[in-house]
A and B are shown apart, each in its own frame.
Chain A
């Protein structure tokens, strides 16, 4: 995974690093005749190199929290900070740029652009950022796909791949701009057990080998228990926040 290696694992010194993402008293209420509270007064900090699972029953606010952390949605109250920077006053362009450069998304469905090849899909965020030459972008996309076992499928279109392969392409796309944070919304939700395991392994490697921070929403408590932090939500509130250092191999938060 040469492309990912450029984003080296963070030093694991004893000092308490600044949180990568922080939610301060975040509340999200959907307006309507009967307003719906999606998440309520959530406080949490996610630091470098964490592998975080967010679990909870349906409607508990897992995905809503993930979208708020990923600046796809705006909190009704409270604020989200990315690398210590408040995002409440960012305009749409600034939020879009933050997503493009610091955050990578993986969804339950791959959401690849169907008319584009696998290689083009992975290059999309790099082209939008425009920081690299065309050749460098192509090289990095090839490296990413190769490291995820998709080296032979680069010129195929998404509908020519299996579900697991598509999801790995989506992971490659999320990593294209080397963001420090990967946000995954049920990344294994639509996959069979074998493909789920493959995708989970890819995410785990991102944390263990390449020092990324992965926050994944999942229904699968088995997978959640193998991550190094487990946040449980119920009715939009955090009801548990546990560390499992040994499971994923990454360091626990704040250590």
Chain B
């Protein structure tokens, strides 16, 4: 064995109890860091997954990012015209089928047409503002997980009745509607029709489950009072993470406002960033506290081993060699602590994953945990770096000891 490693290992091994405490400190830090990271990542992934699955990855609407200007404004650029309202255009996506075909020609995924109408659902003295979306059940299966989210009857139940409607399970609880209930839909355009509840869905996102309903495209067009209207294209991609870039390209190609799921949930995603900053700060603090233990043990060893250091230096071992011995000792503590922490972290995750939790906000009765080697790698790296940093100062001090002073003191 290498001399430095040999001496370092002997020092560490000779102090089982002290070294054990230092290792336990690092292991606890690493273990809990892994557990926290796993829980945070798990809940984030779970939520993101639900967002991605529930909503289309990209929604193309008939709106524009900036309101279209009146022809007078574009024709007479040198003149300032006050009091002009934006140009009013006929609602809906022009030539929706041709647009869909053009998009499907290049984008990696599927496109589905829909009609989105804001309406009030009235039932048993309840008035609830709802987004009513007119869909084609066959195409909807390609652009969202709605068919899988159905509770009880399938999405094809929409064909079974005139003006059939599928509502979110929370909405049904809110208004007390069951299957077969006849509810009234009233839109701001003045359309009013009676629809029969043929099914419920549960997406897992409270806001959607409380305020969304699905009807057939034709019913949606009746509600919007515009035959043939398609005011929303719903896009699902094979790689949802590419939504932002593809949405930008769609917007560029079509001129219609194209919103990726990331943009639609920007607030939530930014809270994830804050949450991650908090998590890594806490994890860093845990490991920092653990590194105090390493500092303590290395300081103790260098203090106890002052005579050995003096004799090693008098024999001709360089400052670098002496310093390396104690840095390696810190590294050994960090390494053993990190490995023990990996095991502890894994066991903590298993334990946490086995706890049954009844949470109205969660579909699963287990905590969502993400098992990623990156959590282990990160916690291990931080543990090693903090251990070595903690050990370096006493190691440097030890290496700079003047052997004569110690030898004189000893004799």
Question: Which A residues have a C-beta under 8 Å from some C-beta of B?
Answer: 63, 67, 70, 72-73, 92-93, 96-101, 103, 105, 107-109, 111, 113, 115-116, 124-125, 127-129, 173, 185-186, 189
Shortest CB-to-CB span from B228 to chain A, Å, is 87
* Chain A residues positioned under 8 Å from B80 (CB to CB): none
Question: Complex: how many Å from CA A26 to CA B403?
Answer: 20
Chain B interface size range: 20 to 34
Cβ of B321 within 8 Å of any chain A Cβ, yes or no, is yes
Q: Are A186 and B321 in contact (CB under 8 A)?
A: no
* Chain A residues positioned under 8 Å from B10 (CB to CB): 113, 115-116
Shortest CB-to-CB span from A56 to chain B, Å, is 16
- Nearest CB in chain B to that of A110: its residue: B311
* Chain B residues positioned under 8 Å from A113 (CB to CB): 7, 10, 308, 311-312
Top 4 nearest A-B pairs (CB, nearest first) are A100-B316, A99-B316, A111-B311, A96-B318
- Nearest CB in chain A to that of B403: its residue: A72
Q: Are B404 and A72 in contact (CB under 8 A)?
A: yes
Interface residue from A63, A99, A108 paired with B315 (Cβ < 8 Å): A99
Cβ of B145 within 8 Å of any chain A Cβ, yes or no, is no
Q: Are A100 and B317 in contact (CB under 8 A)?
A: yes
Question: Complex: how many Å from CA A41 to CA B311?
Answer: 28
Q: Are A128 and B315 in contact (CB under 8 A)?
A: yes
Q: Are A96 and B319 in contact (CB under 8 A)?
A: yes
Q: Are A173 and B315 in contact (CB under 8 A)?
A: yes
* Given A113-B308, A124-B3, A128-B321: A67 touches B316 (CB 8 Å cut-off): no
Cβ of B125 within 8 Å of any chain A Cβ, yes or no, is no
Find the residue from A111, A113, A116, A129 having the highest chain B CB count within 10 A. Answer: A111
* Chain A residues positioned under 8 Å from B6 (CB to CB): 127
Mask: chain B, 270-294; 1 = CB below 8 Å from A; 0 = not: 0000000000000000000000000
Q: Are A97 and B318 in contact (CB under 8 A)?
A: yes
* Chain B residues positioned under 8 Å from A103 (CB to CB): 316
Question: Complex: how many Å from CA A108 to CA B307?
Answer: 13
A-B contact list, 22 entries, CB within 8 Å: A63-B408, A67-B407, A72-B314, A72-B404, A72-B407, A93-B319, A96-B317, A96-B318, A99-B314, A99-B316, A101-B316, A108-B411, A111-B310, A113-B312, A115-B11, A124-B3, A125-B315, A127-B6, A128-B315, A128-B317, A129-B316, A173-B315
Shortest CB-to-CB span from A189 to chain B, Å, is 8
Cβ of B98 within 8 Å of any chain A Cβ, yes or no, is no
Mask: chain B, 380-411; 1 = CB below 8 Å from A; 0 = not: 00000000000000000000000110011011
Question: Complex: how many Å from CA A32 to CA B10?
Answer: 38
Cβ of B79 within 8 Å of any chain A Cβ, yes or no, is no
- Nearest CB in chain A to that of B7: its residue: A113
* Chain B residues positioned under 8 Å from A99 (CB to CB): 314-316
Mask: chain B, 298-325; 1 = CB below 8 Å from A; 0 = not: 0000000001101111111111110000
Shortest CB-to-CB span from A28 to chain B, Å, is 10
* Chain B residues positioned under 8 Å from A108 (CB to CB): 411
Find the residue from A73, A101, A103, A113 having the highest chain B CB count within 10 A. Answer: A113
- Nearest CB in chain A to that of B315: its residue: A125
* Chain B residues positioned under 8 Å from A93 (CB to CB): 318-320
- Nearest CB in chain B to that of A100: its residue: B316
Q: Are A105 and B318 in contact (CB under 8 A)?
A: no
Cβ of B77 within 8 Å of any chain A Cβ, yes or no, is no
Shortest CB-to-CB span from B311 to chain A, Å, is 4
Cβ of B14 within 8 Å of any chain A Cβ, yes or no, is yes
* Chain A residues positioned under 8 Å from B7 (CB to CB): 113
